[in-house]
Amino acid sequence: MLLLLASLGGVTATVIAGDIGYAQWRENQRQRKIYAAFQPTAVPIPPNFVERPVISEMIRDRLTKRTRYEVIVGNSGTGKSTIVKKVASTIPGAIYIHPAMGGNVAATLADAFAAALNWEEQGLSWREAYSNDIIGNDHGRMLERMLEDFEHLAAKFQAEYGHPAVLVFDNINAIADKDPELLYKLQSYAKEAADKGSYKVVFVCSGGVAPAQMKSKLLSANLRWLRLLMLLQRIQLGREAPRAANAVSAT
Ligand SMILES: Nc1ncnc2c1ncn2[C@@H]1O[C@H](COP(=O)(O)OP(=O)(O)O)[C@@H](O)[C@H]1O
Ligand SMILES: [Mg+2]
């Protein structure tokens, strides 16, 4: 009897050890998948694309300079998303997030973030977790977990590459309009990351209430602005105006 119990105990221990080993393996795979999103990936270029070397260089500078977090502002249709996405796609460690307009803004942001980061919930795919109602509708918590994973891998990235990873949140005017608290939360993360030097955050917006909202907060201490006043017609004619006329940067 004792012998039987002992052998059963052995089997249980082996099963548990196997389970832990599997869980660890799965977690490593999950992290590896997220880390793969830190690698540059080419993005589709619109037809008749006009190169904008001056603006591209300014944006590259903003995405890679160490200190502070940034906001790039410019009127809707001036080509911000196209150029920021294109520049980001060439920089190792840059994750570009463009939440769709409409619907629940926390949900669309969480979806866009998960897709850009190859993100899955720990232990199961986030879709499984979502349908199992483990996450439910708490997209705020989901964002926190994604940011935790991102920060963890950003430290690994910085150690390997010698410069910080960067998160680019485009279309934040939609967030400011519908969920100002969410934008405040993102801005808090951005400031904290800038203070610690752990990673960099760049926001892109086309005016609206977002800039005023971000300026009025206590969080603006480490914040830098790039105001793009670019006329698409002008660049479409291949006459990109000189730097001073194209971009006004403050602080
Ligand atoms: N450099 C460019 N050359 C040609 N077309 C462009 C360029 N940049 C943007 N576009 C086109 O202009 C439109 C608006 O660009 P978009 O990047 O969405 O602007 P924004 O984000 O400022 O609203 C899109 O149809 C896009 O394909
Ligand atoms: Mg845009």
pLDDT of 199 higher than 90: yes
Domain extent for 213: 37-250
Q: How confident is the model at residue 10 (pLDDT cuts 50, 70, 90)?
A: low
Asked, for residue 25, whether it belongs to a domain, the answer is: no
Q: How confident is the model at residue 3 (pLDDT cuts 50, 70, 90)?
A: low
Lowest pLDDT segment from 66-70, 168-172, 176-180, 181-185: 66-70
Q: How confident is the model at residue 242 (pLDDT cuts 50, 70, 90)?
A: very low
Query: What is the CATH number for 181?
Result: 3.40.50.300
Asked, for residue 107, whether it belongs to a domain, the answer is: yes
Asked, for residue 6, whether it belongs to a domain, the answer is: no
Asked, for residue 154, whether it belongs to a domain, the answer is: yes
Q: How confident is the model at residue 160 (pLDDT cuts 50, 70, 90)?
A: very high
Q: For position 222, what pLDDT does the model report?
A: 78
Residue nearest to atom 8 of ligand 1 (CA): 79
Ligand 1 site-directed mutation target among 59, 71, 82, most atoms within 8 Å of CB: 82
Q: For position 234, what pLDDT does the model report?
A: 44
Residue nearest to atom 15 of ligand 1 (CA): 79
Asked, for residue 30, whether it belongs to a domain, the answer is: no
Q: How confident is the model at residue 24 (pLDDT cuts 50, 70, 90)?
A: confident
pLDDT of 135 higher than 80: no
For the chain, what is the domain count?
Answer: 1
pLDDT of 41 higher than 60: yes
Asked, for residue 49, whether it belongs to a domain, the answer is: yes
Asked, for residue 141, whether it belongs to a domain, the answer is: yes
Asked, for residue 151, whether it belongs to a domain, the answer is: yes
Atom of ligand 1 nearest to the CA of 48: 4
pLDDT of 184 higher than 60: yes
Mean pLDDT in residue range 191-208: 92
pLDDT of 115 higher than 70: yes
Pocket (CB within 6 angstroms of ligand 1): 46, 48-50, 52, 74, 76-82, 206, 232, 235-236
pLDDT of 197 higher than 60: yes
Instruction: Work out the mean pLDDT of the chain and round it to a whole number.
Output: 82
Atom of ligand 1 nearest to the CA of 74: 22
Express as a percent the part of the chain with pLDDT over 70.
Answer: 77
User: CA 107 to CA 104: how far, in whole Å?
Assistant: 5
pLDDT of 228 higher than 60: yes
